[in-house]
Chains A and B, each alone.
Chain A
Amino acid sequence: MQKSDLVLSPGLSQGLGLALMIGTGLLCLALAYMIKTRLVRNTHDFIISNRRIGLGFGVGSIISVWTWAMAVMMSTAMTYQWGLSGLFWFVVPNGFAVMAVVPLAKILRRRMPAGYTISQFIFSRFEQSKVTSGVVTITMIFGIILEILINLKGTAVVMSTVFSIDWRLATMVTVVVVLTYSYFGGLWTSVMTGTLNTWMITVPAAIVIVAVFGMIDGGATAVFDTVDASKPSNLSIMNADAAAGFGITLAFGLLAATVADQTFWQKVWAIRPNQVARTFLWSGALFYPIPICFGMLGLVALAYGLTPADVGGDIVAVGPYIVSHIGLPLILILAYVLAILAACYSTIDGASSALSSIVAVDIIKRYAPKTSETWLFYITKLSVLIGGIVAAAIVLSGADFTSLVLTTYALKTSILLPLILAIVWPRTNTVGFVGGIVLSILIGMPLRAMYGELAGTLAIVGISGGAVIVAGLLSRRSFDMNNLGVKQAMRLEG
């Protein structure tokens, strides 16, 4: 296996790439239009689907929204960089992070059955404290914007690698396409197109991976033997460097990315109550095969002895590079791109939908409660467009993909333990909650800069959780969780 054997497949024109991007969007737009006319009557339907989402759409939409550029391309990149240890530390916490929502979701859905957002819970939980809920709202918005821009960046990477489309053009086309169809149907659109995207991710992925190994003389055995001969540790999951290098940091970050993300909480309150726990359990378990499948491309890259320079310097491009250079038929290359587009589109769509719920409930209804339903509906839909445009503007300014991901996770990690404790520990109070988040960022981020990701992450988690516990123990007050649902839950629909 020589890397000189890898040659860009013919026929991958820019026009074809753009047609694929726009065509996928048009399919989703047609679905969104049907949804708009049949399922969306008001803001309540737009942001929470009248709480009628069942197991099938719940599972499909959560899998697709959680399968972002991270899962598709970084699973390949981490396998390429660290061997199977990299895949292990990337994959195992990923699915667990989704399933970790189960206990928290069951508690909140029971205590606050008519909820919409996690910031709304914090507002009710901490005696209508606008400071506390404001901190959470800002963190959620920040996380959502980063979620969108990371996936825009992911689309740009794959389209520029495979079709040589200028990454700026790819970013702009993506944002226009996704926002156009997201604007129409809100959460129903998000879950229905997202579920369709789960099929577009999984089935093409399976066929393409088998085909890639079929293009190699000796298939999987040859890849396995070559990797084993060059560096046997790449076939082991026991490499501690991967854990220290990114695994532990990522594990905390992934937990924060689900537990402290409105994209998931929106679904907690939108899925039928008796299906919530099962939906998150199934989603986490069924998510696992996706990054494992794409991770196999990392072994191929190792077997060919690719260097980062060979793929343009950014190892995120390893997967697209292998697929577009190994000699696959055009249709299979397109299938791979379709899988990545589906992953990116569904995550951006899901994040936009979550943003609309925050704008409606945590901003408009809180600070301008007399806003009419008509105006609320328009503003909510408009927020979908504004979020995407802001994220696209940031991406177009040019930022490093991997650093961006880790920075997002480090920031969201600060809110992880305070949020969990607010749900499960009645003695969690405002001082501890806000103090924990602020202190952990003020102390943890400099430590992260000085001593690296692992020390910084552990410091952020430790300080944020410690501050909440100390403040809770010092106070004798205990919150009655039964007050959440009965007295304070808002019902947008009146």
Chain B
Amino acid sequence: MSTLFIIFLVLAAATTALFFAGYARGVRIALASYADDRVEVDDSGDLSTYWWPIALAVLGAAMIIALVGVSPVFIYVAPLLALITAAGNGLAFFIDDDATGAE
């Protein structure tokens, strides 16, 4: 088992812990608030605030693929980013400004 593989296993374990901690929080909130019939409003800001993040995401993806063709090191960036996807999903449960305040 290579050092790189072990590093990825450790990162995967940490990502998994974050993901399931978030998932558990999400389930608790869903159970606590599913019958809440309050009407919420969209106060998530103007549409213009989304253009830059969208552009950055698209450019970032394009750049990473291009960099794979520059150096073999960037081949390993791909699985690293896949772990970031799982971690990001877990994180999303925590930064959601849950309307019920349930914990």
Contact = CB atoms under 8 A, between A and B. Distances in A.
| Real binding pair | yes
Interface of A: 38-39, 41, 45, 49-50, 52-60, 63, 84, 87-88, 91-92, 95-96, 99, 102-103, 106, 109-110, 113, 188, 192, 195-196, 198-199, 202-203, 205-207, 209-211, 213-214, 219-221, 223-225, 235-237, 272-278, 281-282, 284-290, 292-293, 295-296, 299
A221 B60 CA distance: 23
A50 B65 CA distance: 40
Contacts of B71: 224
Contact of B47 (A102, A223, A288): A102
Contacts, number: 228
Nearest to B22: A56
A63 B76 contact: no
A277 B69 CA distance: 33
A277 B47 CA distance: 8
A88 B34 contact: no
Nearest to A84: B69
A202 B2 CA distance: 21
Interface string B1-41: 01011001101100110011011011101110111110111
Given A99-B57, A223-B72, A210 B23 contact: no
B75 to A, nearest CB: 4
A210 B69 contact: no
Contacts of B16: 199, 203
A56 B61 contact: no
Nearest to A227: B69
Contacts of A274: 40-44, 97
Interface string B51-78: 0011001101110111011011101101
A89 to B, nearest CB: 10
A54 B93 contact: yes
Contacts of A99: 50, 54, 57-58
Nearest to A41: B35
Contacts of A54: 26, 29-30, 93, 96, 98
Given A56-B92, A292-B78, A296-B78, A285 B65 contact: no
B42 A288 contact: no
Contact of B72 (A38, A198, A221, A273): A221
Chain B facing A: main interface SS: helix
Contacts of A60: 23, 89, 92
Contacts of B62: 88, 92, 237
A196 B23 contact: yes
Given A223-B72, A272-B99, A293 B78 contact: yes
Given A56-B93, A272-B99, A210 B4 contact: yes
21 contacts: A38-B31, A50-B34, A54-B30, A56-B96, A84-B66, A91-B65, A96-B57, A102-B47, A202-B83, A209-B78, A210-B79, A214-B4, A220-B75, A224-B75, A237-B62, A274-B41, A277-B45, A282-B92, A286-B88, A296-B79, A299-B68
A299 to B, nearest CB: 7
Given A87-B65, A92-B62, A210-B4, A39 B31 contact: yes
A277 B79 contact: no
A288 B81 contact: yes
A63 B89 contact: yes
A205 B80 CA distance: 10
Given A56-B92, A282-B92, A210 B73 contact: no
Contacts of A272: 40, 99
Contact of B44 (A49, A278, A289, A290): A278
Nearest to B13: A203
A59 B97 CA distance: 14
Given A203-B83, A272-B99, A295-B78, 6 more contacts: A39-B30, A56-B22, A56-B25, A57-B26, A103-B47, A278-B44
A277 B42 CA distance: 9
B43 to A, nearest CB: 5
